[in-house]
Amino acid sequence: MAEGRWLGMMAIALALAGCATKPAPTLSQAEFENTRDALAADPAARAALAAACRADMRREPEDERALIGAVLDVETDEVAEVFCARFIAAISRGDLSYADFEALKADGGDPAALRHFLRVLRRDPSAVST
């Protein structure tokens, strides 16, 4: 069970982090929701995913991290920490849904879903969902 939960968390992280070099993983709605519930309930799960997310982000080319930093209004060396904290908080709060996840994976992407994703990523990790 824990292995499946970890796989789900990693799949969400890879898909929504926009790692262009990696194919978007397949994740069912139930897996997404189970992962979201686990992240919301378990600080250790959030910490583990955050560590993996930061490591992945630090491996991205500097120019990509700089672009993400510009979008998030942070310095390039802060991108991994800030992006991952906001990303995981957004999933945990329920600000990113399975429908958002699927729309972002769609061929060419859904502009409305991308706008929503970017708005969510600009929220402070401690923000309460509205």
Tens-place pLDDT, residues 32-51: 898 899 999 999 989 998 99
Q: How many CA atoms lie within 13 A of 78 on its CB side?
A: 9
- CA angle at residue 40 from 4 to 80, to 5 degrees? 85
Q: What is the pTM of this model?
A: 0.76
Q: Locate tokens 């139930």: which residue?
A: 30
> pLDDT by residue (tens digit) across 86-109?
989 998 999 988 888 888 777 666
Angular region, 94: left φ>0, alpha ψ -120 to 50, beta rest: left
* Rounded distance between C-alpha atoms, residue 12 and residue 35, angstroms: 8
